[in-house]
C-alpha cells in the first residue's frame, strides 16, 4: 500500500487512550485504491455490504451508570470509503465516558459519525449482549477443506480456478482455511468463506488451492472478498454469485464482507468461530 495513503492511519502505531468522545478518530480508506487492481473501479460488478460486529460498546447513561451493548453495523459496498478498523475501535472506546440519554441517542451519534467517514448512509443496531440475534450460523453446503492439495506459490489469481466438465450447477461451498495479511502491519487475519453460485462448475480442489493462496496475500478484508468475487465471476460466468467472508474478531470487532450479483441479497449474520 502507498505510504502516502497510510501516513495518518492508526494501524501499526502506538496510540494513547482517548477518554472523551472524539469522532475525528475515524479514518476513511478510499475503496477505489483496492479496486483499481481488480478491474472493479469502473462500474461495480457486485452489490453487497460490510457487516461489522462491535463487542465492546459502552457509554454512560444520564446518571453516569455504564451501559454495554453489541453493535451490528452495516456499511454498503457502494460507499466511497471503508473505515479503518483500529480507528473504529478507538472511536468506539472514546464513547466510554460520554453520557447519552438512551440507546437511540447513541445509535444516531454513531450512524452520523460513521456515515460521514464512509461517505454514505449506514445502518446500526444495538443488541443486548445475550441477544439471540447474535447466535452463530453454520455455513451451508460442502466444506472443501478435507480435499488433498498442495500449497500454491505466488499470489491468488483467476487462472488458479479450474472448471469441472458438464452442465452448469448450483451449489454452496465453504472453507475455514482463509488467511490473509493486513497490508499495514503484516499480521494474519483469519476467516471462513462461503460461496453460493449457479454457473459453470468449479473444481473444488482448485478452489481450495485458490483460497489457500491468500495465505501470504496482503489486503484488507473487504478487498480480499472483492478480489475473490471478481476472479470467480470471470471463470464461471454465473447466473448468480454470493460470497461472504467471516473474519474472526480483532480489537473487539469482526468484519463480514458480503458481495453478490443480486442487489436484494442479504448477508448471513455471524459464526460461532467469531
Check if 131 is active-site. Answer: no
The one catalytic residue in 50, 113, 189, 254 is 189
The one catalytic residue in 40, 50, 113, 182 is 182
Name 246's bridge partners: 192
Contacts of 47 (CB under 8 A, 6+ apart): 77, 78, 259, 260, 261, 262, 263, 265
d(CA 15, CA 36): 31
Check if 143 is active-site. Answer: no
d(CA 43, CA 271): 31
The SS3 of residue 140 is: coil
d(CA 204, CA 225): 18
Instruction: Give the distance from CA 85 to its chain's centroid.
Output: 10
**Annotated active-site positions, please?**
182, 189
Amino acid at each position: 500500500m502507498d505510504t502516502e495513503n497510510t501516513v495518518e492511519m492508526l494501524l501499526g502505531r502506538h496510540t494513547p487512550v482517548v477518554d472523551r468522545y472524539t469522532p475525528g478518530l475515524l479514518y476513511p480508506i478510499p475503496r477505489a485504491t483496492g479496486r483499481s487492481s481488480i478491474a472493479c473501479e469502473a462500474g461495480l460488478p457486485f452489490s453487497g455490504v460490510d457487516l461489522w460486529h462491535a463487542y465492546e460498546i459502552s457509554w454512560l447513561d444520564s446518571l453516569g451508570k455504564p451501559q454495554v451493548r453489541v453493535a451490528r453495523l452495516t456499511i454498503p459496498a457502494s460507499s466511497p470509503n471503508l473505515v479503518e478498523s483500529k480507528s473504529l475501535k478507538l472511536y468506539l472506546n472514546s464513547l466510554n465516558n460520554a453520557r447519552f440519554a438512551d440507546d437511540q441517542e447513541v445509535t444516531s451519534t454513531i450512524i452520523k459519525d460513521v456515515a460521514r467517514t464512509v461517505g454514505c448512509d449506514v445502518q446500526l443496531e444495538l443488541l443486548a449482549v445475550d441477544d439471540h440475534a447474535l447466535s452463530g450460523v453454520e455455513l451451508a453446503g460442502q466444506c472443501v477443506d478435507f480435499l488433498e492439495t498442495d500449497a500454491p506459490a505466488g499470489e491468488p489469481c483467476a487462472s488458479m480456478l479450474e472448471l469441472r466438465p458438464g452442465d452448469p450447477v448450483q451449489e454452496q461451498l465453504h472453507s475455514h482455511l482463509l488467511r490473509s495479511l493486513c497490508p499495514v502491519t503484516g499480521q494474519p487475519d483469519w476467516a471462513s468463506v462461503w460461496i453460493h453460485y449457479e454457473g459453470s462448475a468449479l473444481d473444488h480442489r482448485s478452489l481450495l488451492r485458490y483460497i489457500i493462496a491468500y495465505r501470504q496475500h496482503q489486503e484488507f478484508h473487504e478487498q480480499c472478498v472483492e478480489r475473490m468475487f471478481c476472479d470467480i465471476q470471470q471463470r464461471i460466468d454465473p447466473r448468480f454469485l454470493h460470497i461472504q467472508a467471516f473474519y474472526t474478531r480483532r480489537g473487539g470487532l469482526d468484519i463480514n464482507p458480503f458481495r453478490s450479483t443480486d442487489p436484494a441479497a442479504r448477508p448471513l449474520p455471524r459464526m460461532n468461530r467469531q
